[in-house]
Amino acid sequence: MSIVAGILKSSLGKKYVMAGTGVLLFLFVVGHLVGNLQVFGPPELINKYAHFLQSKPLMVWGVRLGLLVIIGLHITTAVQLSAANKAARPVGYTGGEAYGSPWQSRYMLMSGLVILAFIIYHLAHFTVRLPGINGVGDFTQIKTVLHGETVPDVYAMMILGFQVWWVSAFYLVAQALLFVHLGHGLSSAFQSFGLRDHIWWPRIQFVTKAASIAIFVGYSLIPVSIYLRLVGSEYAANAKTALVESATPAKEAK
Ligand code: HEM
C-alpha cells in the first residue's frame, strides 16, 4: 500500500487531508473575493481582470482541475469522517475535543452540502452562463470592447445578475452558510494540525473568526449593494437594453 493510500485510510490521515484541502479552499475563497471586489471600481477594472484570466487558459484550467481534486478530497474525507463518527465512537480532533463554536460544528455537513449546491449553481450562473437560470437573459451575449477587442462584459453580467432579488437572496444564504462553515472549519483545521496550546489557541480563534466575518461581509456587500442599486445601475440599464435588442431579431424571425 502506498504512503498516500495509507494516510487516506486512517482517521487521522483523513483529518489532515480535510484540514489541508480546507485551508487551500479558504485561500481560493480569499483570492476570489479580492478579484470580485473590483466590481466596486470602474467597469473596465473587473473586465480587464476577467479578460486577463480568460487569456491564460492553461492557468485557468490548471486551477479548475486543482479545485476539482481538492473539493473532491475535502467532501470525500468529510463524509467518511462524519459516517465514522456516527457509526462508532467519535473521532476527536488531535489533542482532544473540538474547541469553540459547538453550534457551528453541528452544521458542518449540512452547510458544506449547501455550499456545494451553491457552487454548482454559481458555475452555471457566471462561468457557463446558462441562459434561463439567471432571471435576466442570455449572459453570453453581454459584450464590451476593451482596447479594440470584443470581450465578455463581466461587470454588466454581475450587476444585472444581482439585481434579481432571488439570485441575491440565494447568494446571501450561501454566504451565511459559508460563514458558519469557515467559522468552525478554520479553527478545526489548526486543531487537526496539532496547533492548540493555551497561548496560541485564543489568537488562532480570534484570527479565524475575524477572517470568516471579513469574508462574509466582503462577499455579501456585492449582492446587497448591487440589489440596492448603489453600484452600476445606469451602466447595467444600457447593457440590458443591448441584451433585449440582440434577442429581438431572433424572436421576430420565429
Ligand atoms: C458575491 C459572491 C460571488 C461573486 C460575485 C462571484 C463571481 C464570480 C464570477 C463573475 C465568476 C466567473 C468568472 C469568469 O468566468 O469570468 C466566478 C467563478 C467562480 N466562483 Fe465565484 N463569486 C462569488 C462567490 C463565490 C464563492 C463563495 C465561491 C466558493 C465557495 C465561488 C467559487 C467560484 C468558482 C469555483 C468559480 C469558477 C472559476 C473558474 O471559472 O475557473 N464564488 N465567480
Instruction: Render 159-203 in DSSP notation, one character per residue.
Output: HHHHTSHHHHHHHHHHHHHHHHHHHHHHHHHHHHTT---TTHHHH
Q: What is the pTM of this model?
A: 0.89
pLDDT over 90 at 6, yes or no: no
Q: How many CA atoms within 13 Å lie on the side-chain side of 108? A: 24
The pLDDT score that the predictor gives to residue 239 is 81
Average pLDDT of the chain, as a whole number: 89
CA of 123 to the centre of ligand 1 (A): 7
**The predicted structure's pLDDT at residue 93:** 53
- Return the minimum-mean-pLDDT range out of 2-16, 60-74, 144-158: 2-16
- Supply 47's cell numbers: 473586465
The CA-atom distances, in angstroms, between 47 and each of 2, 8, 100, 136, 147 are 46, 41, 41, 20, 11
Phi then psi for 128, rounded to 5 degrees?
A: -80, -25
Mutation to probe ligand 1, out of 126, 143, 163, 177 (largest number of atoms < 8 A from CB): 126
Among 127, 151, 180, 182, residue to substitute to test ligand 1 (most atoms within 8 Å of Cβ): 127
**Spacing, Cα 207 to ligand 1 middle (Å):** 24
pLDDT in tens, 48-59: 999 999 999 999
Ligand 1 centroid – CA 83 distance (Å) = 30
What is the 175 CA–ligand 1 centroid distance (Å)?
A: 12
Query: Residue 97 pLDDT more than 50?
Result: no
What is the distance in A from the centroid of ligand 1 to the CA of 32? 7
Instruction: Please give the distance, rounded to the nearest whole angstrom, from the Cα atom of residue 242 to the centre of ligand 1.
Output: 24
In this structure, the residues whose C-beta lies within 6 A of any atom of ligand 1 are 29, 32, 36, 50, 60, 63-64, 67, 115, 119, 122-123, 126-127, 154, 158, 171, 178, 219, 222-223
146 pairs with which residues across the strands? Answer: 149
Q: Whose CA is nearest to atom 26 of ligand 1?
A: 29
Say what the pLDDT of residue 3 is. 76
**What is the residue with the minimal CA distance to atom 6 of ligand 1?**
36
